[in-house]
Structure 1
Amino acid sequence: MSAETESGRPVETGRLPRDFLVGVVLLAFCAVTYWASLGIAEAPAALAQNVQPATFPRLVLTIIAVLTMLMMALGFGQTEPARRTPKLVMLMTGALMITFVIAFGTLGSLAAMMLFCLVMPIVWGEKPSAKLVVYALTFPLAVYLIFDVGLGVYFPPGVIENLIDSIF
């Protein structure tokens, strides 16, 4: 049997579907974060505007949990292709996302977004060009201006934000 052929339903082969373990991890994450959301203080009725601060995260976590259980249930009836090792680009993308989270806290949001917008397309096979550099500079700046300046969403300041604040 080649690596490209289907190996049958997981239950018939005596193992759990590959989505099952991922589902268990997602459900554990949802349970822990939902439990953490129980500590979010309620806003006074005059400020709540009919929605408490914890409502949105709890709703999102509930939807994630329901969809995860659906994914797990559907996995029992599906055939699975033989497992292959992930492609290098997938591993590099995951590593880059983790690096982005670390850079977000260290360099600040704007610098991290600029680096991410520059490196991610290159990892996916885009050739370095002037268009890519323009994109990597303007897209994060537009996001920053819309959310931080326009909507007042707080981004932790970093290298570039401190420079912008010192100029203006």
Structure 2
Amino acid sequence: MQVGSETGRPVEAGRLPRDMAVGFVILLFCAVAYWVSLDIQKAPAALAQNVQPATFPRMVLAVIAALTVLMMALGLGQPEPARRAPKIIMLVTGALMVAFVMAFEALGPLAAMFLFCIVMPLTWGERFTATLVLYALGFPVAVYLLFDVLLKVHFPPGVVEGLIDKMI
């Protein structure tokens, strides 16, 4: 049953619905990650505080898997738009995310976050304004204060972190 020239049921076209294909890949990832989490050693009772180290990643994987199954179930029987090649902006966004990971390693997390917070909105058409600069400065500072200062989870040293350490 064709609902229009642009939509139709994937099963009738002889292919797996997009939500099912993506869902199977996500579930496979969850299964592999869960299997890897079986190697996480148990902490001694005095250090565990009622929660073992593997508990959090397994809970996150369970939530991801449950939401994936829900996505797959809701997608059954739904018309699906005809598949098109992704827009160039999506490819550029993916390239910027890869560049962010490389900048994270080379420059450090704070400088990389600042650059990402400037470049990504500009790529998507946002104008260069004072608000954008405040966001690009404020977000890495907030992340630094939350993790490094409050939670004592220290970032790997980078350009900005080296300057902060010299000032302190």
TM-score by length of 1: 0.89
Shift of 1:79: 0.7
Q: For 2:8, what is the secondary structure of its paired residue?
A: coil
Q: Does 1:158 align with 2:158?
A: yes
Contact 1:6 1:81 in 2 (8 A): yes
What residue number does 2:95 align with?
95
C-alpha separation in 2, matches of 1:43 and 1:87: 48
Structure 2 residues not aligned, in runs of 5+: none
CA RMSD of aligned residues (A): 1.7
What residue number does 2:17 align with?
17
Contact 2:7 2:80 in 1 (8 A): yes
What residue number does 2:136 align with?
136
C-alpha separation in 2, matches of 1:59 and 1:44: 20
Structure 1 residues not aligned, in runs of 5+: none
**Mapping of 1:22-61 within 5 angstroms?**
22-61=22-61
C-alpha separation in 2, matches of 1:133 and 1:94: 22
Shift of 1:5: 4.2
Shift of 1:164: 1.0
Contact 1:113 1:140 in 2 (8 A): yes
Contact 1:110 1:140 in 2 (8 A): yes
Contact 1:5 1:81 in 2 (8 A): no
C-alpha separation in 2, matches of 1:99 and 1:60: 26
Contact 2:8 2:82 in 1 (8 A): no
Shift of 1:76: 3.0
C-alpha separation in 1, matches of 2:55 and 2:71: 24
Amino acid at match of 2:131: K
Larger deviation: 45-54 or 125-134?
A: 125-134
Please list every run of at least 4 consecutive aligned residues from structure 1 whose deviation after the TM superposition is greater than 4 angstroms.
none
Contact 1:11 1:76 in 2 (8 A): no
C-alpha separation in 2, matches of 1:64 and 1:98: 23
* Structure with larger RCO (C-alpha < 8 A, sep 6+): 1
Contact 2:108 2:157 in 1 (8 A): yes
- Identity among equivalent positions (%) equals 69
Shift of 1:89: 2.1
Contact 1:16 1:76 in 2 (8 A): no
Shift of 1:117: 0.7
